[in-house]
Structure 1
Amino acid sequence: MANNPLSGVGYLLRGLSLISKPGLRRFVLIPLLINILVFSLLVGIGISQFDLLMDHFLPADDSWLSYLRWLLWPIFALALLLIIFYTFTVIANLIAAPFNGLLAEKVELYLGGRLQEESGSIKQVMKDILPALFSELRKILYFLLRAIPLLILFAIPVLNIVAPFLWLAFGAWFLSIEYGDYPMGNHSLLFKDQHKRLKKARFTAMAFGGSVTLLMMVPILNFVAMPAAVAGATVFWKERLESTGGDA
């Protein structure tokens, strides 16, 4: 299949449709509740701290940066919003990892895939908790090793103008890794192999992650972004990644 960005957007839209199906709705409930609680908390913190961050990076004094404040304010607002969303994604997915894995399994079954024995049972969910948390911690390490240098750019004059755009591109890629892990992890694919498969469909993957970012910015719909992304990533896996070898 072609490495088509439009396909990446389509996978998320199909995921959004899938989570409303009668056979899948009950598996969305716990990820949805976690989503709402974590998102509400982080947005509250972000709003309360935004002016302090603006004063720190773009001081309202007589320096030359102060004259750019009015121009760069929207860019920094977007950057803070993206940082909140990606921080929220890491935290929410860490908490909801076993339930997101279960949702991915049920979506794959709905799509005609095969599940492991005992899949979907409480016993299986409990067995999956430690592997799921380990996988989330591996993704957090991957995220931090790349996010910290990007965040440092926000503190460097001139370079901080391009930092939000670099952050946006990295965030789209990271979200494809974050949510692609659930269906691929259900098939015992390690992070290294998941990463290689996504690299073979990089434009599709980044479009998928970018569309997740946009969905997270839409009021009300942002609460279903996580389960929709899990379902969409499962469609992505079944139709594009499953048949793609891990060799780079």
Structure 2
Amino acid sequence: MSQPYVPPRTAPAKPSAFKDFFTGVGYLLRGIGWMARHPAQWLFGLIPALIVLVVYVTALVFLAFQIDDLAGWVTGFADDWSDAARTSARVVAGVAIYGAALFVAVLTFTAVTLLVGDPFYEAIAVRVEESEGGAPPDPGTPLMVQIWRAIKDTVLLGVIAVAFAVVFFLCGFLPVVGQTVVPVVAALVSGYFLAGELTSVALERRGILRAERFARLKADRPLVVGFGAATFVTFLIPLGAVLAMPGAVAGATLLARERLADGRQAEEVLVAPGDGASAWHGRAE
């Protein structure tokens, strides 16, 4: 007797990378929307960002006054070229140097601001989670351990940022590609690392440290890059890094809660504000 035909089982379709990218952009918009509904939290989150901004703007203004000398030093090989060729080389070098500096500044601004404003953004992340049904309990990590961990993460990110900045600086000399493709790639790369820094607040509260954090970011790369790239572009707008920083932290908290930490830990109890009762349980899949 012939067996009835059974169609082969197929795995459920996964969301496209394109769709995930724009879902990531949506998390930034959701974070900004959350801040718009909680203006007191927005003002609270501006304090550390403003402090760091003053330092960064001072450094970038100083660099702008020195850019001609730096461009001339970098293009010393062009001293014997014709005036037009030498000027063109130095203009490209100046743009590349300042662009690399902006890349490093935007990427490290988040890490330094999170380091300076850790108590501020920790409080904001908890309030965002409470508004969504419950926040993870405080892991009880000693303050000095938190500070040392944040310093190590900031230094590591700074080293990575400088390494990429050198690559992008050199690629900036490529005709056409250096002025079109390279800035886009720089935004995507920096966005990935920005997302790693911003989600650290919510993930470290769950005991998910740097190595595991980036493993989870890699698993949802299009989503993470979408969120981070949108944040990077927003930070390039004058005062955007300051005004959007609290919203970026809120959006990263939602991203971490809903996607990066979703059901991948052993049992985790989130405590609802006020009653100490179990409000949410994430179980291993």
Taking the TM superposition and a 5 Å limit, the aligned residue runs for 1:115-194 are 115-116=136-137, 129-153=143-167, 161=174, 167-194=186-213
Distance 1:53 1:31 in 2: 36
1:180–1:230: 8 Å Cα contact kept in structure 2? yes
Task: Sort the Cα spacing of 1:112 and 1:76 in 2 relative to 1 into closer, same or farther, 3 A.
Answer: same
- Residue pair 1:57, 1:155 contacting (<8 A) in 2 also: no
- Asked if 1:38 corresponds to 2:55, the answer is no
Deviation at 1:61, TM superposition (A): 4.0
Matched to 2:124, the amino acid is L
Per the TM alignment, residue 91 of structure 1 is displaced from its structure 2 partner at its CA by 1.9
CA distance in 2, matches of 1:202, 1:192: 15
> In the aligned structure 1, how far is the partner of 2:161 from the partner of 2:133?
37
Aligned pair partner of 1:13 in 6, 26, 29: 29
Q: In terms of mean alpha carbon deviation, does 135-144 or 194-203 score higher?
A: 135-144
Q: Give the deviation of 1:167 after TM superposition.
A: 4.2
Q: Conserved in 1, the CA contact under 8 Å of 2:28 and 2:248?
A: yes
Q: Are 2:112 and 1:95 aligned?
A: no
Q: TM-score, normalised by structure 2?
A: 0.70
Shift of 1:171: 1.4
> What is the match of residue 54 of structure 1?
71
Give the TM-score of the pair, scaled to structure 1: 0.80
Question: Quick check: 2:193–2:228 contact (8 Å CA) kept in 1?
Answer: yes
Structure-2 change in CA distance of 1:58 and 1:199 (3 Å): same
Contact 2:96 2:172 in 1 (8 A): no
Matches of 2:263 and 2:159 in 1, distance apart? Answer: 27
8 Å CA contact 1:27, 1:99 repeated in 2 = no
Between Structure 1 and Structure 2, whose CA radius of gyration is higher? 2
User: Residue 252 of structure 2 aligns with which residue?
Assistant: 233
The aligned amino acid for 2:211 is: K
SS in 2 for 1:114: coil
How many residues are aligned here? 237
1:121-149: CA deviation from partner (whole Å, max 9, x where unpaired): xxx8xx66334323322322431442343
Q: Structure 1, unaligned stretches of length 5 or more?
A: none
% identical aligned pairs: 24
The answer for the alignment partner of 2:274 in structure 1 is none
CA 1:148–1:223 in 2, change beyond 3 Å: closer, same or farther? closer
Instruction: In structure 2, list runs of 5 or more residues that go unmatched.
Output: 1-13, 266-283
Q: Cα deviation per residue 1:192-235 (whole Å; 9 max; x = unaligned)?
A: 22111111111111121111111112224331222111100011
Higher relative contact order (CA 8 A, sep 6+): 1
The structure with the largest helix share of the pair is: 1
